[in-house]
Structure 1
Amino acid sequence: MASVLHLYDRVTRLPQGHRIFSVLFSLKAPYFATVRPRFTELRPNYAELTVRKRRRVHNHIGTVHVIAICNGLEAAMGALAEATVPARKRWIPKGMDVAYTAKATSDITCIAQTDPERWTGDDPEVPVLVRGVRDDGTVVVEGVIRLWVTEKPAS
């Protein structure tokens, strides 16, 4: 829905705007707040946020827990979907497939992106490519979140 993108565009012009938007977005699905996502970019077909490496998201070996990263990836995907889905359609996550490819030893940048053509076709399944990247550029998690995108029911 354009309202999330409109809010992002308006709020991020303010001092501390990215932080404010991130807090507001986390209110939409409170479990997003567990990883304190900090959105850095949002546009149709692309969302990026950071999950800071802090004790609250550590696992037993002191790295960022992969489920915390998946929460960040899902937040990025949700923002992307809200910013991209055509007004006449609605979406819901259908599944997530991820691979853990390296240790998450720094803050993690969570990125979600889609092919613009997938939103307009007849296939209701829209794949969102997601990846979590360490500060040094190493991909630590990568995968796909599949969305089910359908027409909104008639009012």
Structure 2
Amino acid sequence: MSRIADKVGRLPVGLRSTVLSLLFGRFVPFLATSGIRFEQAGHTRLTVSIRNRRKVQNHIKGVHAAAMALLAETASGFVVSMNVPDDKLMLLKSMKVNYVKRAQGDMRAVATLTDEQIRSMYTTDKGDVLVDVTVTDESGESPVVCEMVWAWVPKKRPQ
């Protein structure tokens, strides 16, 4: 993932989001179906968004609760994938989403990792990390509070 993001980072600014969204959508086809857009992809920070359109709405014309959870899971998962070495497999260990208020309009999720968290992915064979992820709506408020814990393990099991 990081190699793709690094290459896309060399493209003109206006193309980056579209190209990232298309390429990452090929790895995880459901992302393309949901309409999630990758706005920024870096090793310490990743931003995704979803428009409040009919396909992702609930019965009160807001972004569906499941789509909000998908937004947080996508941002946190991809920022981890930008850092997990190729010899390790990453897995979502736990996901906690508390809906605290009604959302307004389009949604955005920003996931960040610290340098220490990234370092542990390279120096520890297996472990987990609580990824800081903030989901906001058009008003700038956070209608959901999320906790995403991602784990990594060696791809090959010891014999």
Q: Same fold (TM over 0.5)?
A: yes
List structure 1 runs of 4+ shifted beyond 6 angstroms: none
Per the alignment, residue 153 of structure 1 pairs with 156
**Identical positions, percent:** 26
Distance 1:99 1:147 in 2: 18
Q: Which residue of 2 aligns with 1:144?
A: 147
**CA separation in 2, counterparts of 1:100 and 1:34?**
24
* Contiguous gaps of at least 5 residues in structure 2: none
- Cα distance in 1 for partners of 2:33, 2:87 equals 31
Cα offset, 1:153, TM superposition: 2.2
Equivalenced residue count is 152
Alignment partners' CA distance in 1, 2:32 and 2:67: 11
Unpaired segments ≥5 residues, structure 1: none
Deviations 1:93-148 (A, max 9, x none): 11101111222211101111223323416571211122210122101122111111
**Partner residue in 2 for 1:103:** 102
Q: Distance in 2 between matches of 1:111 and 1:17?
A: 17
Note the 1:4-153 alignment, pairs <5 A. 4-12=1-9, 13-14=11-12, 15-119=14-118, 120=120, 122=124, 124-153=127-156
**Structure 1 residue 42: Cα displacement:** 1.3
Distance 2:34 2:103 in 1: 14
Counterpart amino acid of residue 70 in structure 1: A
Contact kept in structure 2, 1:40 and 1:49, CA below 8 Å: yes
Describe the SS at the equivalent of 1:126. Answer: strand
Give TM-score scaled by structure 2 length.
0.84
Contact 1:46 1:111 (8 Å CA) reproduced: yes
Matched-pair contact (CA < 8 Å) for 1:32–1:72: no
Q: Normalising by the residue count of structure 1, what TM-score does the alignment of the two structures yield?
A: 0.86
Q: What's the offset of the Cα at 1:79? A: 1.5
- Comparing 112-121 with 77-86, greater Cα deviation is found at 112-121
Partners of 1:49 and 1:111 within 8 A in 2: yes
